[in-house]
Structures are given as C-alpha cells and as structure tokens.
C-alpha cells in the first residue's frame, strides 16, 4: 500500500524522459509499481497519474485493460496454467484439477501462506509443449502432475529463487538508456515535415 | 462578406465538396463527415456514439453506410469518414439495413431491456432505433451479463452498467469537453465497463451533461430519477438565469411541477452543455421555504396578509420616506435576478419617484462603466487569438464560459493570458498565468504586456479581455485600472465583462446601476436612508462588507422586500412580498455579453407570488404614477421603444432568433479614470483573497437538496509552505483577524494560493469571511494565528 518509493520515482522520471509525451510512460511505470508492491496499489496509480499528467481514472482504465496488472495482492508465485486448445487436449483440465488439490485453493485463489496464486491463462504460444504453464511468466513445459508437485516443492524450498523472482519483477536486469543513446523522439505536435520514408517512397 | 443578400450567390467555394447521398446531389464542406452531411440533407443515419460537439470515435458501428468504391460498394462508418468529391453514398440499401440490424442485435445481446422501469424509456435512442432500425427479434438465448445496478459514480449521477452500450459518450465528454477525466473504460472485452477510480467520484461540475447525452438509460441523475416518464413531460424552451452566461435550456414539467432542465445547443452560447448547478437547482423552486403570501411586520414577527393591504403598506412606507425629505432617502437594491421587464418596470418606477440610490449589484461586481468599453461576445472570446483574463475563477462562477474558453485553448484557437491572485480552473490551460499580489495588479499587468513575447502574441490577432471582480476583498478599481492598462497597451482589444448575476447586464442596461451599493449602504448606516426596497436582493449575504450591511440594516427604519425566500436581508423587512421565480414568469433576459433571449413560464406561480414587474406597476399605481403598461408584453414593448440598446430585441426578432439578439452597442468612449494606489506588501499579515465556489449557501443551492451537500463549507486556504511556517496542521482551527474582528476557521493547504496571501470562499456555511472585509479599504490584510 504505497506510492512509489523515492528510488522508484527517480527511475520513473528517467523512464518518462524517454518519451515525447509523459503519458506514454504509463505502462512501464505500472510495471515499476507492481514490482515495488507485488501488485498495483491505488496509491501508486494516483501517484503515476500525478507523474505523467493523467487522472487516476485514466491510469486505472489503462492498467485494467491488461491481465498482467493485478489490483489486489497475489501470491509471491503466480501460476498460470494454459487452458487453450492444445493444452486442453493434452490434459490441462486435469492439471488444473490437480493444482487446485495440491495448493488447496480454487482457480483464482491464493494460498493462505501467500505463496501461490492459481490462474488459468489463454494460449501461451507453446502449443508444441502442451500442457504448459507459467510461474511469474517463466515457462514450464509438458507439465505432469508430478512435475507440478516438484515445482511447488522447489518454489517452497527456495530452490528456484534465481530463476523465478517474486511476482511483479518482470526482469532483474533493468533497461538502461543513457540520455545520449535515446532515439530523441520528437513530440508529434512539433513534427513539421513528412516522414523520411514518404520521400523515399516518392522517389521510387 | 462582401456580397449582399440580393445578389445571387455565384461564388465558387474552394471548400465545397459535391457528392450524392441516396441519389440526391449534396454540397458539403471539405472535411465534413458523411453523417453530418446526411443530417443536413434530411437523411437520418442511426447512431449512438456520434455527437456533433465531440470528436468521432466510431465506437458503436451503428452508422454504417454504403459508399461506392473502385471495387464496388463498401461499408464505411459514416461518423469517421469525411465526404469527398464525387462520392456516392447510400444509407438505405439492403446491405446497410442488414448491417444496422446486426449491430442492434449485438448491442441488445447484453442489454437488459428493462425499458418499463428505465427513466430513458420513451426518449431512448436505443429503444427508438431498435424499433426503427432493428431486426425485431434476437437469436441470443444466452444469459446476459450482470452487474450491480445502479452504482453511484457521484453524488448526482448513477450508473447502470448493464444498460451501457459502451458508446464512449460520457467518458469522451468528461475528458474532451469538461476536462475532468474522472470516468474511464476499465477492463477489456466482455468485461469493459465505465468506472471511476476507486473512491474518487465523478465530481465534475458538468456531470449532468453525461446523463443528457447517454443514448441509453445507463446514466441517470438523482434529482430526476423516477420522477416522470418522458411522455408525461411538457417542454418549453427558455434561458437559464442561474449565472450570467444564459445557457439555452428546456424547462420540462409534469403536473405543474418543474422536474428537469435539459441543455439546448445554442451555437453562440452553451453548445448544449449546462453546469450541474444550473441543471439541478430547479429543486429549490418547490422548496417548502418558498414564500407564498405577502407578509407585514407586526412587532417581531411577520404576519400574512393580502396583497392589497401589503402593497398599500409598502406604498405608504415609500410615501412617508419621500415626504421625510427628498428621494435620496429611498434606495432600491436589486433587479439583477429577474427579467429585463422586471428591471425595466422598476427602473421606470424609480425614475418616476426620482430615486437615485439604485444598484443591481451588491458591491460585489464592477462599476457599470465596464459596459462602455468596446464589447466582445462569448464567441469573440472563444475565437480570439489572445484572451486576457482579469476575472474571477470562471470555472466556479460562469462554468459554461469556462468550457468555451477551455475549448478555445485546447483546440489551439486561442492563447489565454491569465492574471490571477490565486490559481483558477483555467490556469492549466493558460498560455501564461501571471500571479499578482492584490493591490499590485495594475503594475503587473502593465509590465507583463510590455514583455516582447506578450506583445508579439497580442499583435497576432484579435484580443479579448475578460474582466470581472476577481477578489471581493479588494477594491473593484484595481480590475478597472488593469483593464485600462490593457486597453492602453492594445487599443483594439474588446471587452467581455463577466458580471455574475443572471440578469445583471439587463438590469444595468435599463438603468438600475446608478450608485454603488456600498455607498448606498454607507449612507444607510449613517441614518440617511429611511426606506430600502429590495428587489430580489440580499445585501446582508452578498455585500462583501458584512459589518457594513449589518449596520445599514440596523439603521434603516423600513424595508420592503420582494423575494422568493425569506433571506438574511428580506427576513428583516417591514413588508415582504412573495416573488414569482424562474420558470413561473415570462419575459426576456440579457446575458453577460448583452444577448437578449426569451424566458418562458412553465408552471403556475408558487402561492400568490407575483412577478417583480407587476409589483412595480401596482406600487406605481398606488403612488399615483402611470407607467403606461399593464402586461409583461407592454413592458417589453416600452423597453424596446424607449431604450435604444434594446431596439433590436423586438418580440418578432426574439421569436425568430432562438439564440437571441445581442444588444446594440452601448455608447462607448466614456472616459473612466481609475487610479487606485498600489498597495504596500502586507508585512507580517496575509493579504486576503475572497472568491466563489460554484456551490455556496445561496438560496437556490441551499434549497436544492441534491446540490446543498456539495458546498464545501468555510475554510481558510493557505500555501502549504505558509501553513508549515504557521505550524498548524492541515484542518486545524486558526484565528483569522482583521482590524475589526477575528473569526475562527479551519485551515487547509492549497498550492493554488500564493505565498503571503490567504484565500477563502464567499458564502459558505461556517465562519463568514465577510466579517473581515472592510469595503472602504483598497485591500484587506488579515493575521493568522494557530490556536494550539
């Protein structure tokens, strides 16, 4: 429950500076907020609105379009089991059933220890490896019930801490774009000439 | 325009586009949308999301039409496609009908069809178009989507998400028109819904418009919910007189009770929009507190009596005051709340009696000399290349003018140069907002205008100066002198005076501004007034110097008041006459730009109330003067023939021009010389700035239950750093002292307040800031002490 921390505000300002319009930084900042608290808090959305010059409602409207942003606390590990065609044919339904029993929560629920949240996902683009799942968006392929149990045990034991960071951390390596390496995007209202490709096309 | 009407127009318009719609040749404007061109040509294309005053989004897909293309006819969305030369458009082919029916079937797939219990039923575009352009039946048998219904998205507006068809009208309005993007689409796909941010309501001053433009019954307004069915409503067009913008509205009533106002699209004025205060204050008309019968004082109480006895008592009070000396012992305040006819009848009466102590403003406006400058209209301001604001916060006082200027800035037509002692609603849209310390306005204006960037901007095109009373705790002469400074720097500028009361311009134009009310009240306090007539005026509540008003009222032996309510002032009357209110009388009104429009009577008067003009005629009669009129039409005819400014506003002209007729330009060039002294810096004190909020404890808000609770209440606003220096936490009680007295208020931090100043809203419940205003001073300073 918090606004962005001082360090994150510094990062946010760096991200905002990469875009000709501050609002364009809204999604990266939402990821930053989710990284900070594990989910996107109302306070963080209001703070982001202040930072990019949008109302809280606009930030919420944008954020809620995306499944990846959570507005309520989720487990440290978010498990998404694919339920689309290939995975469904290869036993995703049974896997889900097993997962519910193993974790002791219904689909969409979070375990009492706050470690696991179980969700169904649409196609994760690994149809050849069905049934598949993701833990905090890290893949597991051709998952059997035994694989699932092993995964849960490993996560609980902390054996996978290097591979799977806590929910909200999209990547451990933060993108750094020095000011002199930015593309130097021009605000749309300042564009006075036709784009260069148009001239090239006309020359053909 | 060089061609006259008699010459046949053989002008080749470079912007003309020729196309064919349903086989008929149509001339459209370059860039015009097909749907708009079809509308003008009488071909109705069904639509839900398209609104001519907002950008097109192509959200509902209902307006599909067939356009002939190189590969045969193709379906295009007519609200997103501009006309082009030689285009062939068909709006009623089988293909188009199939598309329209398909869209209706899809829109109804999740629509609850609870029309019998829906407020919109009977005037619902979805219902109407389901009948006119729908398939008649649905193939959907699945369970519909369910949501909690309805949820309150603000104090005034409720949202039923089941009925919503996601047309983006309300959300677009909130963002594009009102600039309050507090509602937004949330989630995605089948779960898409309109929502506010959690715990942040849609508290826009313009929220009622979303209810009016909602094409289904998803948005309903609390004051009207379940009050009537559309087919029971009788409608008449009129003009809102809540403030001086004069928005066109329809008065809608059922069983002799006003139940709803709707905005009418008047191109020069309101573009169809209304503020919530104007839209919902009809509730006050049926308040139990309305006066119904004449009252005459008997000792401490007011006793009901007949009109004839009340009028003769009133007449005898006036007669004895006149006999006591000369006409200077009688004063008349008010006239700005009624019609032009009310004001004119009273002007004739005071003329007949030779009374000179007459003012329609309560010392809270500007000298009427402001009307002698070259005048601008609202349209002039909204199309000027530079708009200079020497005004109060327009968002709070004249909300629709704020919308028009905001639009001018957002669409890059105008640059706003604001001079303000506190940040206003327009500050974020201003090209340049220059703060000044009250008392230094003139110097700041003069030096800013001499900056090269500013003079270059002003040289670019037309300049309109919007001038009003920006601070009630500061002499009005500063605003006038600042105006003179602008006119001196840019003599070609025109002026839009923004006086606040509904018909203040009409009242001043017919001659109800002869002496400043502050001078009149000062005379009264000195015992020089024997009889005061209040024509819909409440000086105790409205005069910035509360102490002066109180002393004046204590010293006046007889007061005659004509009012709709017993107000702070009228409750002190010797004779209190009930007045017909807005919607209960015919006539005309004049808005702030001098536009005369018609007012309509829609319901019977409350009790035995009479319009102000009638009271003037009757009093004149008893006092032995014939004003030569017996009806409101007579008064209007007399006004048109006797007052050259109203010459163009004839009955015929007003009947044929629903947008009204702008008054003939008043005699300009009258020299005014305002030279208020620059005020010293306040030292250890804070300079006082007093402005208004849209919702206050004025009668028509306080007596409208839906609006009354929106008034913020009294508080002292201070810059957060000043607050920190004071050592008082937010919300703490502080003592605010002027030279006369001190009051206790809660203090809040507010970054729009300048350091060294404090700001308070006028007319809020709680501590009255007027206690600290001395109208004889150029500026007022106060000391603030923490009470801890």
- What DSSP line would sit under B87-147, residue for residue? -EEESSSHHHHHHHHHHHHHHHHS----GGG-TTTTS-HHHHHHHHHS-SS----SPPP--
Q: Which residue of A has its CA nearest to B182?
A: A57
B248-294 tens-digit pLDDT = 999 999 999 999 999 999 999 999 999 999 999 999 999 999 999 99
Q: Is A186 domain-assigned?
A: no
Residues B377, B379, B383: CA angle, nearest 5 degrees: 120
- Its domain, for residue A34, covers 6-70
What pLDDT band is residue B14 in, cutting at 50, 70 and 90? confident
> Can you give the CATH number for the domain in which A112 is found?
3.40.30.10
Q: Are residues A36 and A101 in the same domain?
A: no
Residue in B672, B674, B662, B354 with CA at minimum distance from that of residue B509: B662
Chain B residue numbers touching A60 (CB-CB < 8 A):
184, 186, 195, 197-198
Instruction: Read off the pLDDT of each residue in B65-78 and give the average, rounded to a whole number.
Output: 94
Distance from the Cα of A10 to chain B's closest Cα (Å) equals 23
- The CA-atom distances, in angstroms, between B44 and each of B48, B58, B64, B399 are 12, 17, 12, 33
Average pLDDT over residues A123-139: 95
Residue with tokens 């931090």: B749
Q: Which residues contact B98 (CB under 8 A, 6 or more apart)?
A: none
Give domain status of residue A109, yes or no. yes
Q: By C-alpha distance, which of B60, B169, B171, B161 is closest to B114?
A: B161
* B295-365+505-662 CATH choice from 3.65.10.10, 3.40.50.740, 3.40.50.800, 3.40.50.300: 3.40.50.740
Q: Quick one: pLDDT band at residue B665, thresholds 50, 70, 90?
A: confident
Could you count the other beta carbons within 10 Å of the beta carbon of residue B361? 29
Question: How many structural domains comprise chain A?
Answer: 2
Mean of the pLDDT values across residues A78-96? 96
Which pLDDT does position B212 carry in this prediction?
97
Q: How many CA atoms lie within 13 A of A88 on its CB side?
A: 7
Interchain CB contact of A64 with B (< 8 Å): yes
Chain B interface mutation, best of A41, A43, A44, A55, highest count of B Cβ atoms under 10 Å: A55
pLDDT at A1: 54
Q: CA distances (Å), B609 to each of B195, B251, B256, B317, in order?
A: 45, 19, 15, 21
| Domain CATH for A21 | 1.10.10.1590
The CATH number that domain B686-786 falls under is 2.40.40.20
Question: Which one of A24, A51, A70 terminates a domain?
Answer: A70
- CB contact under 8 Å between B187 and A42, yes or no, is no
Q: What is the pLDDT of residues B286-327, one digit of tens each?
A: 999 999 999 999 999 999 999 999 999 999 999 999 987 688
Rounded Cα distance between B195 and B134, Å, is: 29
Q: Which helix (H) or strand (E) holds B347?
A: helix B340-353
Q: Which chain B residues are closer than 8 Å to A40 by Cβ? A: none
Considering the domain architecture, whether residues A52 and A91 belong to the same structural domain is answered as no
Q: In chain A, which residue's Cα lies nearest the Cα of B199?
A: A42
Q: Assign A73 a pLDDT band (cuts: 50, 70, 90).
A: very high
Q: CB–CB of B195 and A58 under 8 A?
A: no
Average pLDDT, chain B: 94
Please indicate, yes or no, whether residues A140 and A86 belong to a single structural domain of this protein.
Answer: yes
CB contact under 8 A, A61 and B198: no
Q: Are residues A39 and A109 in the same domain?
A: no
The tokens describing A113, both together, are 């220890």
Q: Which fold has domain B18-92?
A: Ubiquitin-like (UB roll) (3.10.20)
Tell me the helix, strand and coil percentages in chain B, rounded to 5.
Answer: 30, 20, 45
Residue A196 belongs to some domain of the structure: no
| Banded pLDDT at B4 (limits 50, 70, 90) | very low
User: Among A22, A49, A70, where does a domain finish?
Assistant: A70
Q: Do A61 and B186 touch (CB under 8 A)?
A: yes
pLDDT digits 0-9 by tens, B437-470: 999 999 999 999 999 999 999 999 999 999 999 9
Determine how β-strand B330-334 pairs with β-strand B531-535. Answer: parallel
Q: What is the mean pLDDT of residues B163-178?
A: 97
Residue A132 has pLDDT above 60, yes or no: yes
Separation between Cα atoms, residue B634 and residue B630, nearest integer Å: 6
Q: Is residue A57 part of a domain?
A: yes
CB contact set of B104 (below 8 Å; sequence gap of 6+): B62, B129, B130, B133, B134, B135
A5–chain B Cβ distance below 8 A for any pair: no
Question: Using CA of residue B361, residue B364, residue B369, residue B372, what is the dihedral sign?
Answer: negative
Percent residues over pLDDT 90 in chain B:
94
Report in angstroms the alpha-carbon separations of A194 from A132, A191, B31, B412, B722.
Answer: 47, 8, 21, 21, 51
- Can you tell me the distance from the alpha carbon of B381 to that of B396, in angstroms, rounded to the nearest whole number? 18
CA-based diameter of chain B, in Å?
A: 93
β-pair type (B330-334, B463-467): unpaired
pLDDT digits (tens, 9 = 90+) for B378-391: 999 999 999 999 99
| More reliable by pLDDT, A186 or A108 | A108
- Phi, psi (5° rounding) for residue B171? -70, -35
| Cβ within 8 Å of residue A204, ≥6 positions away | none
B86-100 residue pLDDT tens: 999 999 999 999 999
What percentage of chain B carries pLDDT values higher than 70? Answer: 98
Question: Can you name the residues that pair with B623 across neighbouring β-strands?
Answer: none
Give the mutation candidate from A46, A50, A61 for the B interface (greatest B CB count, under 10 A).
A61
Q: Which residues of B531-551 are buried (b: 16+ CB within 10 A; e: fewer)?
A: bbbbbbbbbbbbbbbbbbbbb
From residue B783, alpha-carbon distances to B11, B687, B688, B739, B745 in Å are 68, 9, 9, 9, 12
What is the number of other CB atoms lying within 10 angstroms of the CB of residue B31? Answer: 10
Q: How far is CA B779 from the centre of its chain?
A: 28
Q: Which of B197, B207, B411 to mutate to test the interface with A (most CBs of A within 10 A)?
A: B197
A62 is a domain residue: yes
C-alpha pair distances (Å), B785 with each of B209, B684, B738, B760: 43, 11, 12, 16
pLDDT tier, A2 (very low <50, low <70, confident <90, very high otherwise): confident
Partner-chain residue, chosen from B180, B186, B188, that has the shortest CB–CB distance to A60: B186
pLDDT interval class at B11 (50, 70, 90): low
Q: What angle do CA B77, B83, B89 make, to 5 degrees?
A: 65
Structure confidence at residue A195 as a pLDDT band (50, 70, 90):
confident
Tens digits of residue pLDDT in B584-627: 999 999 999 999 999 999 999 999 999 999 999 999 999 999 99
Mean pLDDT of all residues in A124-145: 95
pLDDT at B2: 44
Assigned domain for A162 exists? no
Cα A7 to its chain centre, rounded Å, is 20
Beta carbons of B786 and B728 less than 8 angstroms apart = yes
The reported pLDDT for the residue numbered B134 is: 95
Specify if A180 maps to a domain: no
Are the beta carbons of B197 and A56 separated by less than 8 Å?
Answer: yes
Q: Name the residue in chain A with its Cα closest to that of B189.
A: A65
Measure CA B437 to chain center: 28
| Residue B683: per-residue pLDDT | 79
Q: Dmax of chain A from CA atoms?
A: 66
Contact B181 A58 (CB under 8 A): yes
Nearest beta carbon to residue A57 from set B187, B188, B200: B200
Please identify, among A140, A157, A174, the residue that sits at the C-terminal boundary of a domain: A157
What pLDDT band is residue B66 in, cutting at 50, 70 and 90? very high
- For B172, name the nearest residue in chain A, comparing CA atoms only: A58
Look at residue A117 and tell me if it is in a domain: yes
- For residue A183, the model assigns a pLDDT of 73
Mean pLDDT rounded to a whole number for chain A: 92
| Closest alpha carbon within chain B to A56 | B197
pLDDT at res. B523: 96
Give the torsion sign (CA, B341, B345, B351, B354).
Answer: negative
Q: Is A45 on the interface with B (CB under 8 A)?
A: yes
Say yes or no to pLDDT of B12 above 90: no
pLDDT number for residue B8: 54
User: Looking at per-residue confidence, does B204 or A201 come out higher?
Assistant: B204
Residue B778 confidence (pLDDT): 95
B671 pLDDT tier (thresholds 50, 70, 90): low
State the residue for tokens 């002939």: B68
β-bridge partners, B12: none
Write the class of the CATH domain B368-498.
alpha beta
Q: Would an 8 Å CB–CB cutoff place A147 in contact with chain B?
A: no
Which comes out higher in pLDDT, residue B674 or B418? Answer: B418
Strand, coil or helix: B217: coil
Indicate if A63 and A115 belong to the same structural domain: no
**In the predicted model, is pLDDT for residue B199 greater than 70?**
yes
- Single out the residue of B151, B184, B517, B547 nearest to residue B334, CA to CA: B517
Confidence of residue B669 (pLDDT cuts 50, 70, 90): low
| Residue B13, pLDDT above cutoff 90 | no
pLDDT of residue B1: 41
């Amino acid at each position: 429950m918090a606004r962005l921390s001082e360090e994150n505000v510094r990062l946010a300002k760096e991200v905002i500076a990469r875009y000709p319009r501050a609002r364009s930084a809204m999604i990266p900042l939402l990821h930053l907020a989710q990284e900070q608290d594990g989910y996107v808090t109302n306070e963080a959305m209001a703070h982001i609105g202040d930072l990019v010059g949008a109302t809280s409602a606009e930030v919420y409207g944008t954020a809620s379009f995306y499944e990846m942003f959570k507005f309520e606390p989720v487990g440290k590990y978010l498990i998404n089991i694919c339920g689309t065609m290939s995975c469904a044919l290869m036993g995703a339904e049974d896997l889900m059933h097993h997962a519910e029993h193993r974790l002791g929560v219904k689909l969409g629920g979070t375990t009492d220890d706050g470690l696991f949240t179980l969700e169904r996902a649409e196609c994760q683009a690994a149809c050849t490896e069905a049934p598949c799942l993701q833990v905090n968006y890290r893949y597991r392929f051709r998952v059997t019930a035994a694989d699932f149990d092993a995964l849960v045990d490993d996560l609980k034991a902390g054996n996978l801490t290097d591979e799977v960071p806590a929910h909200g951390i999209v990547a451990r390596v933060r993108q750094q774009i020095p000011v002199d390496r930015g593309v130097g995007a021009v605000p749309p209202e300042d564009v006075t000439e036709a784009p260069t490709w148009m001239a090239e096309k006309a020359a053909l | 325009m060089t061609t006259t009407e008699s010459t046949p127009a053989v002008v080749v318009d470079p912007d003309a586009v020729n196309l064919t719609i349903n086989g008929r040749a149509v001339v459209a404007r370059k860039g015009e949308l097909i749907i708009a061109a079809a509308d003008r040509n009488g071909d109705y294309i069904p639509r839900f999301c398209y609104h001519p005053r907002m950008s097109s989004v192509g959200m509902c897909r209902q307006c599909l039409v067939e356009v002939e293309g190189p590969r045969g006819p193709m379906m295009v969305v007519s609200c997103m496609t501009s006309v082009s030369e030689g285009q062939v458009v068909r709006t009623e082919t089988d293909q188009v009908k199939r598309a329209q029916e398909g869209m209706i079937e899809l829109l109804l797939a999740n629509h609850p069809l609870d029309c019998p219990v829906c407020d919109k039923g009977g005037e619902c575009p979805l219902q109407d178009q389901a009948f006119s352009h729908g398939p008649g039946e649905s193939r959907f048998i699945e369970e519909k989507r369910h949501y909690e219904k309805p949820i309150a998205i603000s104090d005034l507006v409720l949202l039923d998400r089941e009925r919503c068809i996601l047309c983006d009208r309300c959300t677009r309005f909130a963002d594009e028109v009102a600039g309050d993007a507090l509602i937004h689409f949330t989630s995605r796909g089948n779960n898409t819904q309109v929502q506010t941010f959690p715990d942040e309501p849609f508290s826009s001053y313009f929220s009622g418009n979303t209810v009016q433009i909602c094409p289904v019954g998803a948005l309903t307004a609390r004051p009207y919910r379940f009050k009537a069915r559309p087919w029971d409503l009788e409608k008449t067009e009129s003009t809102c007189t809540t403030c001086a913008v004069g928005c066109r509205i329809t008065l809608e009533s059922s069983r002799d009770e006003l139940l709803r106002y709707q905005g009418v699209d008047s191109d020069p004025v309101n573009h169809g929009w209304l503020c919530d205060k104007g839209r919902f204050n009809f509730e006050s008309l049926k308040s139990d507190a309305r006066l119904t019968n004449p009252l005459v004082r008997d000792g401490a109480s007011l006793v009901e009596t007949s009109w004839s006895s009340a009028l003769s008592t009133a007449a005898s009070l006036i007669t004895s005051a006149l006999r006591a000396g000369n006409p200077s012992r009688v004063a008349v305040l008010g006239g700005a709340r009624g019609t032009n006819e009310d004001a004119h009848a009273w002007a004739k009466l005071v003329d007949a009696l030779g009374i000179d102590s007459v003012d329609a403003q309560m010392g809270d406006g500007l000298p009427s000399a402001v009307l002698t400058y070259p005048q601008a209209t609202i349209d002039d301001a909204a199309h000027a290349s530079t708009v200079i604001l020497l005004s109060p916060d327009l968002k709070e006082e004249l909300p629709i003018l704020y919308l028009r200027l905001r639009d001018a800035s957002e669409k890059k037509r105008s640059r706003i140069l604001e001079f303000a002692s506190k940040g206003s609603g327009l500050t974020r849209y201003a090209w340049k907002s220059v703060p000044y310390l009250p008392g230094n306005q003139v110097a700041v204006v003069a030096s800013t205008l001499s900056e090269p960037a500013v003079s270059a901007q002003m040289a670019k095109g037309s300049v309109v100066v919007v001038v009003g009373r920006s601070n009630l705790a500061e002499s009005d002469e500063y605003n006038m002198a600042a105006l003179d400074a602008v006119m001196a720097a840019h003599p070609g500028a025109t002026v839009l005076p923004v006086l606040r009361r509904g018909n203040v311009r009409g009242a001043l134009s017919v001659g109800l501004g002869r002496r400043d009310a502050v001078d009149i009240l000062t005379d009264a306090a000195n015992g020089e007034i024997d009889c005061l007539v209040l024509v819909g005026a409440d000086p105790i509540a409205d005069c910035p110097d509360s102490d002066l008003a109180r002393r004046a009222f204590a010293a006046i032996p007889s007061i005659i008041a004509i009012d709709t309510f017993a107000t702070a002032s009228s409750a002190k009357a010797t004779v209190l006459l009930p007045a017909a209110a807005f919607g209960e009388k015919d006539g005309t009104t004049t808005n702030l730009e001098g536009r005369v429009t018609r007012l309509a009577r829609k319901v019977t008067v409350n009790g035995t109330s009479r319009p102000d003009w009638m009271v003037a005629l009757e009093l004149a009669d008893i006092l032995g003067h014939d004003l030569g009129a017996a009806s409101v039409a007579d008064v209007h005819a007399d006004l048109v023939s006797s007052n050259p400014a109203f010459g163009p506003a004839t009955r015929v002209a007003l009947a044929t021009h629903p947008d009204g007729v702008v008054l003939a330009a008043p005699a300009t060039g009258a020299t005014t010389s305002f030279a208020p002294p620059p005020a010293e810096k306040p030292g250890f004190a804070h300079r006082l700035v007093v402005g208004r909020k849209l919702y206050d404890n004025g009668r028509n808000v306080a007596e409208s239950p839906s609006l009354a609770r929106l008034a913020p209440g009294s508080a002292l606003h201070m810059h957060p750093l000043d607050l920190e220096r004071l050592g008082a936490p937010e919300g703490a009680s502080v003592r605010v002292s002027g030279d006369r007295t001190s009051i206790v208020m809660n203090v809040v931090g507010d970054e729009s307040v300048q350091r060294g100043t404090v700001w308070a809203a006028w007319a809020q419940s709680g501590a009255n800031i007027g206690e600290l205003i001395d109208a004889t001073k150029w500026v007022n300073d106060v000391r603030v002490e923490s009470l801890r």
